[in-house]
Structure formats: C-alpha cells, structure tokens
C-alpha cells in the first residue's frame, strides 16, 4: 500500500538521521585518535593518513593491557552475580505474596535513585576495615549491590509479563515453584536477560568513581576508565589525540561485545517462546 511505503520511507529517514546524530560525536573522537599527534583540529576535516601513534602511546602509558583484563574480570563477575541474585529476587517479587513487599520495593527504589558520590566514602572505610580495598572484591561486591535494584525491577517486570497460562499449566502438572522458574521461565527469559546483561556490563565497564576511590593504590586492579582518566584528568599538557585514543580503547571492547550480544539476542527472540 502507498501509505505503508510512505511510512517505511519516512521511518527509515528518521532512523538514518537519528543514527548519524548518534554516531557523529564518536566518529569525531575516532578521527581525532587516528590523526597525527599534534595536528590542528578544525571543522570537518578528515585526516589524510591513519596514524596509530596516539594508540600506542595511550596503550603503553595507560597500562591498557592490564586495565582491559581487570575491567573484563570485574564486569563479568558483576553481571553474573547480579543476574543470579536478581532473577531469584525478581521471581519472588513477581509471584510470591509476602508481608512488607511494598517496603522492600521502596528500599530497592532508594538504592536505584541515591547519588552515591557521598556514599562511596563510608563504603571506602567499610571495605578498608574488611581489608578489601585495592582488590577485585572492592570493585565487584559493591557494584553487584548497586546493580541489584535495576536488575530486580527488570526481572520482575519480565516475569509479570509472562503468560499466566504457561505457569498455571506447569503448576497443574505439579512442578515446584523453583522448577517453574528453571524449566519454563528461564528459557523464555533468555532475551530479557541478554539485554539486561548488556546493560549491566556497560554500567560495570564504565564505572569510574568507585574504581578510583576503592582501589586507590594498585595498578594491577585498575580498570580501563581509570586509564582513560589518567589522560583526560590532566590539567596541563594533555594531548587531545592520545586522550581520544584512550577513549576509543575503553569503548571498543564494549562496542564489539554489544554488537555480538545484539545478534544473539535477536536470534534468541526469534527462536524463543516469547510470543504465545
């Protein structure tokens, strides 16, 4: 139908514009990173040749080989831990009646909305008492706690949206609540968990302030955003090209994993039993 075709064209046009707007700042950083060190930046110029000098300087001075490994360890641990805990809690919030449910949800909301710039200081002293500062645990454990509210709300929303008929059929068959979760709901939840994992991975990967304060003095545990900050947080003689290269180094792994997960998610949705 002509109307439909018009919609398709308009829709795609808007999408293309939105995509360009989303891409442009990153592209400008990319061009900057690939430019010869010390060249003049202006308007819309494209560097004549690709130079990797900025990258190699950022890589060595920012200790990126360590930092990327640390970031990966921390982010994966946070994602796995959070998803396990949030799936259990989200399930309970979705289908179990129990007293103080409203209160617990409220407490979760508190964690979701609080600004933690000040909270990080008591957290530092607590972890110091437990001799956990300067270790991976100082990055993983608090971030699992901080990711929980979002993840629990997410999983609860998903569970509530699943078809009642499926669950009822399972209970009639005599399946326990845990079996319903494991055998019926979890397979359905793969796309939702995939998206959640992507988001959590992102939050954990880009986390900066916690990493800075809770690991004040151990380069071996330092994460990638700290390496970037090493360049961006210099008050003098910072080199925009090297900073840009460091920024690209921080963003690239997550970009790649996002694209990879994105494909998995879509195939999961096509194959899964999301729709009745």
Partner 1 sequence: MKKLRLTGAAGVALAGLLVAGCGVPGAGTTASSGFDGPRITERVTPEDVAKLGDTTLRVLADAGEEDTLNALVPLYEKKYPNVKVKVTTKGFDDLMKTVVNTLSGDDAPDLAQGNQGYGTDGPLVKAGLIRPLDDVLRTYGWENFLTDGTLKQWRWSAGGTIFGAGSLYGISPVTEYVGVFYNTDKLAKLGIEPPKTYAEFTAALDKAKAAGEQPLMLGNAEKYPASQVIGLVQAQNTPSRDIRSWLAGVPGSAITDAGTVDAARTVQDWAGRGYFGPGYNGISADDAAAKFAQGQGVFYVAGSWNAPSLQESMNGRVGFTLPTRPDGTRATVGSMGLGWHIGTKTKNLTASVAFLDMLMSDEFAQNLTDVGRTPVTGHGTVKAASPVVEQVNGIGTKLLADDGQNFYLDWASTTMYDTVGAKTQDLLDRRTSPEGFANGLQDDWKAFQQKQREDAAAGAGS
Partner 2 sequence: MTAVTEARTGASSPEAEVPARPRKGAVAAWASRQYWPAYLYLLPGAVFYVLFVLGPLGQTAWISLFRWDGLTEGRWAGLDNYRDLFHDGRIPSALAHSLVFVVAYAFLPVALGLVLAGLMSRIKVRGLTFFRAVLFLPQILATVVVAVSWRWIYDIDGPLNAALRAVGLGGLTRAWLGDYDTALPAVAVVGTWVMYGLCMVLFLAGVQKIPTERYEAARLDGAGPIREFFAVTLPALRGEIAIALVLTITYALRNFDLVWNTTAGGPGTSTTVPSVFIYQGAFITREVGGAAAISVCLTAVVLVVTGVVMRLVRGKED
Query: Which residues from 126-145 bind partner 1, rule CB under 8 A?
Result: 128, 131, 133-134
Residue 273 interacts with partner 2 (CB under 8 A): yes or no: no
| Residue closer to partner 1, measured from CB, 183 or 218 | 218
Q: Candidates 53-61, 62-70, 96-104, 167-175 — which segment interacts with partner 2 by CB under 8 A?
A: 96-104
Site for partner 1 in 179-218 (CB under 8 A): 212-213, 216-217
Which does residue 34 bind out of partner 2, partner 1, none, counting CB within 5 to 8 angstroms by kind? none
Tally Cβ neighbours within 10 Å of residue 128: 14
DSSP structure string for the chain: -HHHHHHHHHHHHHHHHHHHHHHHHHHHHHHHHHSPTTPPP-TT---SS---HHHHHHHHHTTHHHHHHHHHHHHHHHHHHHHHHHHHHHHHHHH---TTHHHHHHHHHHHHH---TTTHHHHHHHHHHTT-TTSHHHHHHHHHHHHHHHHHHHHHHHHHHS-HHHHHHHHHTT--HHHIIIIIIHHHHHHHHHHHHHHHHHHHHH--HHHHHHSTT-TTT--HHHHHHHHHT-SSS--HHHHHHHHHHHHHHHHHHHHHHHHHHHHHHHHSS---
Question: Does residue 129 bind partner 2 (CB under 8 A)?
Answer: no
126 binds partner 2 (CB under 8 A): yes
Binder to partner 2 among 169, 186, 266, 271 (CB under 8 A)? 266
Does position 262 interact with partner 2 (CB under 8 A)? The reply is yes
Q: Does 47 bind partner 1 (CB under 8 A)?
A: no
CB atoms within 10 A of CB 58: 26
Can you tell me which of 2, 97, 102, 115 binds partner 1, judged by CB under 8 A?
102
Q: How far is it, in rounded angstroms, from Cα 166 to Cα 158?
A: 14
* Least gap, CB of 135 to partner 2 (angstroms): 14
Which partner in partner 2, partner 1, none is near 230 (CB below 5 to 8 A by kind)?
A: partner 1
Site string for partner 1, 229-268 (x = CB under 8 A): xxxxxxxxxx-x----------------------------
Tokens of 121: 């200081």
Mark residue 203 as left, alpha or beta (left: phi above 0; alpha: psi -120 to 50; beta: remaining): alpha
Q: Is 97 in the site for partner 2 (CB under 8 A)?
A: yes
Contact status: 123 vs partner 2 (CB under 8 A): yes
CB of residue 1 to partner 2, shortest distance in Å: 11
- Among 95, 124, 137, 258, the residue binding partner 1 under the rule CB under 8 A is 124
Q: CB-wise, 135 or 195, nearer to partner 1? A: 135
Site residues (vs partner 1, CB under 8 A): 38, 40, 61, 100, 102-103, 106-107, 122, 124-125, 128, 131, 133-134, 212-213, 216-217, 219, 226, 229-238, 240
């Amino acid at each position: 139908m002509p109307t439909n075709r018009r919609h398709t064209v308009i829709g795609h046009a808007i999408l293309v514009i939105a995509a360009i707007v989303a891409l442009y700042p990153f592209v400008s950083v990319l061009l900057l990173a690939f430019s010869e060190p010390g060249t003049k930046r202006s308007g819309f110029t494209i560097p004549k040749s690709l130079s990797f000098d900025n990258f190699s300087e950022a890589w060595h001075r920012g200790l990126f080989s360590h930092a990327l490994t640390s970031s990966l360890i921390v982010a994966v641990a946070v994602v796995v831990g959070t998803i396990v805990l949030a799936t259990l809690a989200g399930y309970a919030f979705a289908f179990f009646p129990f007293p103080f449910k409203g209160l617990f949800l409220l407490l979760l909301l508190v964690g979701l909305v609080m600004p933690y710039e000040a909270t990080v200081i008591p957290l530092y002293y607590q972890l110091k008492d437990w001799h956990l500062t300067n270790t991976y645990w100082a990055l993983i454990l608090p971030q699992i706690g901080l990711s929980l509210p979002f993840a629990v709300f997410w999983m609860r929303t998903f569970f509530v949206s699943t078809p009642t008929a499926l669950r009822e059929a399972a209970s009639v068959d005599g399946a326990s609540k845990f079996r319903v979760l494991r055998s019926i709901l979890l397979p359905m939840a793969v796309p939702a968990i995939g998206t959640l994992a992507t988001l959590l991975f992102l939050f954990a990967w880009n986390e900066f302030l916690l990493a800075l304060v809770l690991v004040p003095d151990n380069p071996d545990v330092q994460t990638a955003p700290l390496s970037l900050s090493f360049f961006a947080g210099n008050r003098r003689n910072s080199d925009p090209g090297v900073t840009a290269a460091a920024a690209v180094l921080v963003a690239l792994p997550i970009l790649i994993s996002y694209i990879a997960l994105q494909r998995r998610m879509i195939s999961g949705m096509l194959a899964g039993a999301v729709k009745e």
